[in-house]
Structure 1
């Protein structure tokens, strides 16, 4: 692992939690107590608006990744304005994580993939043929194939990998391939933090599952997730849900 804990230093904590992003329960909790990482793979699971994306963007920025998406070590990452939470978030790192963050820019390893900007990133990289990325032309691929190309090309080394809803373009089988990749990364000393709505990704073996919501954050088991319960009920009897919205 590379990061033990994310927190906001006392000098950076707001005097009031009445403004965004501190009105989001998981961010307010982070400001009060921090967020610890107990396993190489962490899944942040919650409804839209629960704060998952706010957390992962700030985590990416704290590890000097670009909040718009991309790999670690890019020359101009720090020229972009940070998110409000990214401006104040700090990381307690392992010795390996410290060496990456305090060493030369090229020593940082990792990638931030966010579904909102990934499609544009794929096309830009393919058009410019930038060094250090993938060789394949993702503009000729489906979105799902392009995502898998990114994963297989960029998620190889021991590094810090942050993902925001990567399942957006993935089929069932492609989700399973990503599960295998995340599990493999975790076993090699890398660290993965993934915000997801997918019960498939959340089931990654050995993952620490953090459920995000009005309660803030809480650790739970896969089979106790509200997400999993809803999918089970829906697949067993879709009409039990659909009759309430199409009648």
Structure 2
């Protein structure tokens, strides 16, 4: 592992304004977030703040919020977020050398909306393939060395079988010394054995297990009886 805890300097702020009003951000400010496994999944509804949190973690590590590796730090026009400016880390024993200086930090921030653009800036251009195939080709060709890899909903472009392949890439990555923090809606990804799962919501942040996730329960119920859900949204 590279990092074992993330926290944020408090400083002046208005708790009624974004991002300080988001419950998971308040939890980060009050207690920090501990990482207990090489792969951590952040799971929550849209608007819960999980993407805000992973973006701030990426920025705190020195990764461009637009997406990309540490070599492309702040290459985009986007300014660093107010939360990302304050995020700091406690290093895991194996990560102390990497966190010791900016020059030694390795990693990548992959966000679904800008992934292919970020990969193009890295010199990786998977021509004549679908969006999902491009994602997987990026993992094969780019995600293979020790470092911090922050992913924001990577399943967005992937089929069921491609998500399974992605899990294989993640498993090989962490066995090579990498660490992954991933925001996701996928019950398939979060089933990775040994992964730590943090549920994000109005309660802030809380650890849970795959079988206790609300999204897993909803998918089970929906697949068993789609009409029980569809009758609420269809005329």
Q: Which TM-score bucket, shorter chain as reference?
A: over 0.9
2:213 is the alignment partner of 1:216: no
User: For residue 173 of structure 2, what is the aligned residue in structure 1?
Assistant: 185
Shift of 1:18: 1.6
User: For residue 243 of structure 1, what is the aligned residue in structure 2?
Assistant: 231
2:4 is the alignment partner of 1:4: yes
Given that 2:91 and 2:99 are in contact with CA atoms closer than 8 Å, whether structure 1 keeps it comes out as no
Structure-2 separation of matches of 1:220 and 1:227: 12
Q: Secondary structure at the match of 2:84?
A: helix
- Stretches of structure 2 that go unaligned for 5 or more consecutive residues are none
Q: Deviations over 1:154-209 (max 9, x none)?
A: 11001100000000100001100111121222233211000000101111111000
Given that 2:66 and 2:76 are in contact with CA atoms closer than 8 Å, whether structure 1 keeps it comes out as no
Given that 2:41 and 2:184 are in contact with CA atoms closer than 8 Å, whether structure 1 keeps it comes out as yes
Structure-2 separation of matches of 1:185 and 1:58: 22
Q: Deviations over 1:66-110 (max 9, x none)?
A: 1110012336559862111101111111244332233362x3221
Shift of 1:141: 0.8
Structure-2 separation of matches of 1:149 and 1:44: 24
Q: Report the RMSD for the aligned CA atoms in angstroms.
A: 1.9
Worse-matched range after superposition: 161-170 or 108-117: 108-117
Q: Taking structure 1 as the reference length, what is the TM-score of the superposition?
A: 0.89
User: Compared with structure 1, are the counterparts of its residues 237 and 76 closer, same or farther at alpha carbon in structure 2 (3 Å cutoff)?
Assistant: closer
User: For residue 17 of structure 1, what is the aligned residue in structure 2?
Assistant: 15
Match of 2:26 among 28, 38, 41: 28
Structure-2 separation of matches of 1:75 and 1:21: 22
User: For residue 93 of structure 1, what is the aligned residue in structure 2?
Assistant: 91
- Stretches of structure 1 that go unaligned for 5 or more consecutive residues are none
Match of 1:234 among 215, 222, 226: 222
User: Compared with structure 1, are the counterparts of its residues 241 and 150 closer, same or farther at alpha carbon in structure 2 (3 Å cutoff)?
Assistant: same
Q: Taking structure 2 as the reference length, what is the TM-score of the superposition?
A: 0.93
Aligned residues: 235
2:190 is the alignment partner of 1:202: yes
User: For residue 112 of structure 2, what is the aligned residue in structure 1?
Assistant: 115
Given that 2:49 and 2:200 are in contact with CA atoms closer than 8 Å, whether structure 1 keeps it comes out as yes
Q: Secondary structure at the match of 1:168?
A: helix
User: For residue 48 of structure 1, what is the aligned residue in structure 2?
Assistant: 46
2:156 is the alignment partner of 1:168: yes
